[in-house]
Amino acid sequence: MQFELSKPISIGSDHAGYEFKQFIADFLRSEGFVVRDNGTHSKDSVDYPDFAHPVAEQVESGEAAYGILICGSANGVAMTANKHAGIRAAICWNEELASLARAHNDANILCIPARFVSQEIAVQMVKVFQSSPFEGGRHQSRVSKISSC
């Protein structure tokens, strides 16, 4: 299954990911996508859960096609997002991981470590993530076992 790209793409970051968030959101808008920017809106220090929860909630409810979260390491935003039922947030640092996160794990939130990749690589990961379909098949039974609820 591929994402329903007629829906907005939800994005959020902490202060460490602010510049990446702006860069990615501008790229997506230039490609004609609607972007729901959940902040942060400056480089001032903030708490990443305040921005990860709204993105996860929008993906979880179906309001957003998929989500993008950015922080320094991507660990904090991924841990936060993955607390939500139905969310499969994947930390990726190259295109191959972004593709596999979709194809094998049906990831619906891409988590980007701003301190470890370039903005250009981040945009390439977004392109791959949104265009890679979930393969289903043998992977579906594995994905079905992820939820503890």
Rounded CA-CA distance 53/83 in Å is 9
Residue 104 is among the residues annotated as catalytic for this protein: yes
User: Which strands make up the sheet holding 89-91, listed edge to edge?
Assistant: 35-37, 9-13, 67-71, 109-113, 89-91
Catalytic residue among 41, 53, 92, 104: 104
Residue 71 is among the residues annotated as catalytic for this protein: yes
Rounded CA-CA distance 43/41 in Å is 7
β-pair type (89-91, 109-113)? parallel
Residue type, 117: V
Catalytic residue among 15, 41, 53, 71: 71
- Any idea which residues carry the catalytic annotation? 71, 104
